[in-house]
Structure 1
């Protein structure tokens, strides 16, 4: 009984220290030192909360036929990439950037399913941006390890610039300059690769040129 009592007391103390006090302390420190990061690096626009800098998301529009939205076999609306916005890299997460199913495909480089998927993505990007399939950069063909990466390479962003400029009636140089302004360098100067956050890029595009609907109304 003495051993049982000592074990229960140890369990209670460790639960209070490790399970309650320690997380509360870290939360308090994070809120003081890095409040934005602690809250999830959320991004807001004039229309309210639009996402997080840490999570990719889709920029799509409904597919319509004779003015009516097209649905699939189970009644879910069918969407397609919105050409007025920069597109993120592919996602292996279910539902498209679903944070509840963060994952990679785990396919090997010679897996026929992966090879077919890469070729399908290559053809889609080439058709959307009107470029030669050989010009499509690797990050437009492969999902990240998490499936939720919010960044693309500067090369992929510049590939899309002409299409976005055309859809919004802007000069291509203006859009490319925006890409360059929002390109982030390597972390600490040597880790990773230069990258562009797609959500921040699209928000800056909307603020600079107005949303596509507003541009059409003008």
Structure 2
């Protein structure tokens, strides 16, 4: 059974197995922008043991955990979920994260462990994400809600490319923050910043995963 999981894509596994995304986070595997890679290739690319990860996923399958399978829900319902759970949430998260990052950099900037440049990175990401979400809200989502078929391919191609850019920004964020791990003597503000970053990272990856691996794939399926 684990052998079969090795050949499946990360995006497919994230859809199929409730809780799989937690395991992918723990092994630092990108299931959203890198969701097209097989588990075997993704693990070997990071010098990880693919069989160990497959076994962890296999044990999840036996646990009986459930979550909504968005692949079987109408596009309207998934879009409503994306808007309330992710678009609105990112707009709340980023201003506060930027404020905390500026404070930490101002107070602790001389320390080698300080994530200098994080506030600017988050500000750039906020601007890119806002423009991206507006394209979805004003162009793609209305088209999908009206049942438009293959002509959604060009906007989806643009949005996938922008998702890859968001993924690159997350990679830079991880480098700056020692994989979002505060130093042992970090102050409360620093710890609050990193708790917020972890939540934001998890939310953004899940957001991109649901769009790349569910919404976009369903939208591009041939209509009979």
Which bracket does the TM-score occupy, shorter chain normalised?
A: under 0.3
Give the number of the structure whose residues are more often helix, by fraction. Answer: 2
Give the number of the structure whose residues are more often strand, by fraction. Answer: 1
Bigger-Rg structure (1/2): 1
TM-score by length of 1: 0.26
TM-score by length of 2: 0.26
